[in-house]
Amino acid sequence: MFRNFLTVVVLLGVAATPLMAQTPVPLELKSVRLDLPDSDKMFPAGPGSDAINNNCLACHSAGMVLNQPAMSKQAWEAEVNKMINNYKAPIAPEDVGTIVAYLTALKGVK
Amino acid sequence: MAERGALRGLITRRRLLAAATAAGAALSRPAWAQKMIDLPLPGGPGARQITTAFPQKGAMILQRTRPPLLETPFEVFDKRTFTPNDQFYVRWHWALIPTDIDTDKFTLTVRGHVDQPLSMSLKDILRELPSVELPAVNQCSGNSRGFFQPRVPGGEWSNGAMGNARWTGVRLKDVLDKAGVKPGAVQVRFKGLEEPVVAEAPPFMKSLDIDHARDGEVMIAYAMNGEQLPLVNGFPLRLVVPGWYATYWVKMLSDIEVLNQPDTNYWTKVAYTIPDTPHASIKPGETGVKMVPVNRMVPRSFVTNMASGSKVNAAAPTTLRGIAFGGDCGVTSVDFSIDRGQSWYQAELGKDEGKYGFRRWQTQLLLPTPGEYSLLIRCTNSNGVAQPDTPNWNPAGFMRNVTESIDIVAV
């Protein structure tokens, strides 16, 4: 009898929860207060490094750019324009050419 | 430098000064303090720092510090079926991420095309709604982007922008039912607490169709692997969209808006779109292709106990093991080949932890004679979809799932 009862419970459990299991004990969530690390990396010094440091590091650290593969001037231009047009990067128009030239010199297709 | 536009939260000049000070501190650190890894990305650069600097996180591959992009070191996948929270990969879009979350004050709002707008506390969510649990893989749309050829810009991930966790939370359906979705609702839009530095930039929001949002599987998770989420993984609430790419799994979820018109926001309509072609693949340079939002995941499988360059004994059995996942359904088989795909052998599948999770696999490999072998591993999912034998290509570097290969030497 007891054994039969167990079988019924197990079958019901399987039938009722084919995918998601019900979890009976709710978790107690604890408040969190912490600091995220900042980056200490600047773009390598060279012609245009001031322009890229001043315009780009407010929104993202330099590592993201330095980890990119070598790309053509057109591809770098597209990236900088994407930052301006899609992500509203407040880059002064006179700095755009300088930044593209810097990126092409640093990480252009050789 | 003059301040331009509306940079929120932090001033560029101050940030640069702080960074310069930190750079000084970094220079005084001995060189060996920086542990590095070399990712085998074609054409490079593959060197990345291994960082332990992020709170609540262990050793991670540093792809970007701010906003954080942290990759799971691949050996983690060999050790556990469920990726530990402290090594689960991290990917943020915007740099202003709250770092102080008071669980008594946090609220989730549900509004828009509903009968009764809601503002739910974490206590309401944990106590008033039934709790559910689901193992599921969370994978970045751009996981493995660094292997695309020709290379494409973006987060230059190796294969570790993915993880498998047991998610605990409430059904999105139950939350929507509590608010009462009005007739005519078409989509549901989700937003978290992250904000762009530039006020005019598009806030990160993603949408799901109303039927998908109410399918009973999409959930709002408050725990992963039995513990509250690390802050950088989306504490306190994260949307879980089983079988779909992680772009939909909105972190620090704070706002749910039921829409009676299709969402046209940047992150749903423009970003995260793929060519509407088989395997989301086009030829480099091809234009005029119809683009659609990235959606369901596709099958993948990986060897976790060997990498290219590994040496094994010829004519002696060697254990080969790894993980697989079906994408938007379960795993039917994992097959391997030692003769460039002429003949395939089935690996033994491990315990089925749920169709959306990782499935372990293992086999005994016997390489008959000394020499170089290219080993292929292929997953076929329960919809009958197998990994393709040629890599896909698209300009965003999304949805890579080519049959993996590793080059090993039998001696």
- pLDDT by residue for chain A (110 residues), tens only, comes to 334 433 333 344 343 444 566 555 558 999 999 999 999 899 999 999 999 999 999 999 999 999 999 999 999 999 999 999 999 999 999 999 999 999 999 999 97
Contact call for residues B37 and B50 (beta carbons, < 8 A): yes
CATH of the domain at B182: 3.90.420.10
The minimum CA-CA distance between B346 and chain A, rounded to whole Å, is: 26
Predicted TM-score (pTM) of this structure: 0.91
What are the chain A neighbours of B39 within 8 Å (beta carbons)? none
Q: Is the pLDDT of residue B376 over 70?
A: yes
CATH of the domain at B365: 2.60.40.650
The answer on B323 and B195 residing in a single domain is: no
Inter-chain touch A58–B62, beta carbons under 8 Å: no
Q: Determine, yes or no, domain membership for B91.
A: no
Chain A, chain B: beta-carbon pairs less than 8 Å apart: 168
Residue A49, SS3 per DSSP? helix
The answer on B304 and B267 residing in a single domain is: no
Give residue A20's pLDDT. 64
Residue B95, SS3 per DSSP? coil
The answer on B324 and B208 residing in a single domain is: no
Give residue B34's pLDDT. 79
Strands B311-312, B404-410: pairing is parallel
The answer on B320 and B262 residing in a single domain is: no
Inter-chain touch B45–A60, beta carbons under 8 Å: no
Residue B127: domain span? 107-271
The minimum CA-CA distance between B281 and chain A, rounded to whole Å, is: 20
The minimum CA-CA distance between A90 and chain B, rounded to whole Å, is: 6
Q: Is the pLDDT of residue B51 over 50?
A: yes
Q: Is the pLDDT of residue B2 over 50?
A: no
Domain ranges of chain A: 41-110
Q: Determine, yes or no, domain membership for B240.
A: yes
Give residue B11's pLDDT. 44
Return all residues near B70 (Cβ < 8 A) that are at least 6 apart.
B51, B54, B57, B60, B61, B62, B63, B89, B90, B91, B232
The answer on B325 and B261 residing in a single domain is: no
The predicted model gives B164-174 an average pLDDT of 98
Domain stop point among B219, B252, B271: B271
Cα–Cα distance for residue pair B212/B179, rounded to 1 Å: 17
The model's pLDDT over B308-355, given as tens digits with 9 standing for 90+, comes to 999 999 999 999 999 999 999 999 999 999 999 999 999 999 999 999
Give residue A40's pLDDT. 81
The answer on B227 and B357 residing in a single domain is: no
The answer on B259 and B123 residing in a single domain is: yes
Q: Tell me, what amino acid is at B361? A: W
Using the Cβ of A64 and the Cβ atoms of chain B, whether some distance falls under 8 Å is answered with: yes
Q: Determine, yes or no, domain membership for B205.
A: yes
Q: Determine, yes or no, domain membership for B15.
A: no
Q: Determine, yes or no, domain membership for B60.
A: no
What are the chain A neighbours of B353 within 8 Å (beta carbons)? none
Cα–Cα distance for residue pair A40/A26, rounded to 1 Å: 41
Considering only the beta carbons, identify the residue of A34, A66, A67 that sits closest to B55. Answer: A34
Concatenated DSSP letters for B144-187?
TGGG-SS--SS----S-SEEEEEEEEEEHHHHHHHH-BPTT--E
Return all residues near B21 (Cβ < 8 A) that are at least 6 apart.
none
Give residue B9's pLDDT. 52
Inter-chain touch B23–A40, beta carbons under 8 Å: yes
The predicted model gives B103-107 an average pLDDT of 98
The answer on B335 and B204 residing in a single domain is: no
Q: Determine, yes or no, domain membership for B263.
A: yes
Using the Cβ of A63 and the Cβ atoms of chain B, whether some distance falls under 8 Å is answered with: yes
Residue A96, SS3 per DSSP? helix
The answer on B351 and B254 residing in a single domain is: no
Contact call for residues B50 and B280 (beta carbons, < 8 A): no
The answer on B360 and B233 residing in a single domain is: no
Cα–Cα distance for residue pair B168/A22, rounded to 1 Å: 9
Q: Can you say whether residue B384 is alpha, beta or left, with left for phi > 0 and alpha for psi between -120 and 50 degrees?
A: left
Cα–Cα distance for residue pair B223/B103, rounded to 1 Å: 14
Return all residues near B203 (Cβ < 8 A) that are at least 6 apart.
B94, B191, B195, B196
Hey, which residues 28-57 in chain A have their CB within 8 Å of chain B?
Answer: 29-42, 53-54, 57
The predicted model gives B152-175 an average pLDDT of 98
Cα–Cα distance for residue pair B26/B307, rounded to 1 Å: 33
Superfamily of the domain at A41-110: Cytochrome c-like domain (1.10.760.10)
Contact call for residues B258 and B185 (beta carbons, < 8 A): yes
* Structure token digits, residue B95: 């740099």
The model's pLDDT over B200-258, given as tens digits with 9 standing for 90+, comes to 999 999 999 999 999 999 999 999 999 999 999 999 999 999 999 999 999 999 999 99
The answer on B310 and B216 residing in a single domain is: no
Query: CA dihedral in degrees (B326, B332, B333, B334; nearest 10)?
Result: 10
Contact call for residues B68 and A36 (beta carbons, < 8 A): yes
Give residue A2's pLDDT. 39
Domain count, chain B: 2
Q: Determine, yes or no, domain membership for B1.
A: no
Taken in order B288, B294, B298, B301, the sign of the CA dihedral is positive
Contact call for residues B162 and B247 (beta carbons, < 8 A): no
The answer on B383 and B265 residing in a single domain is: no
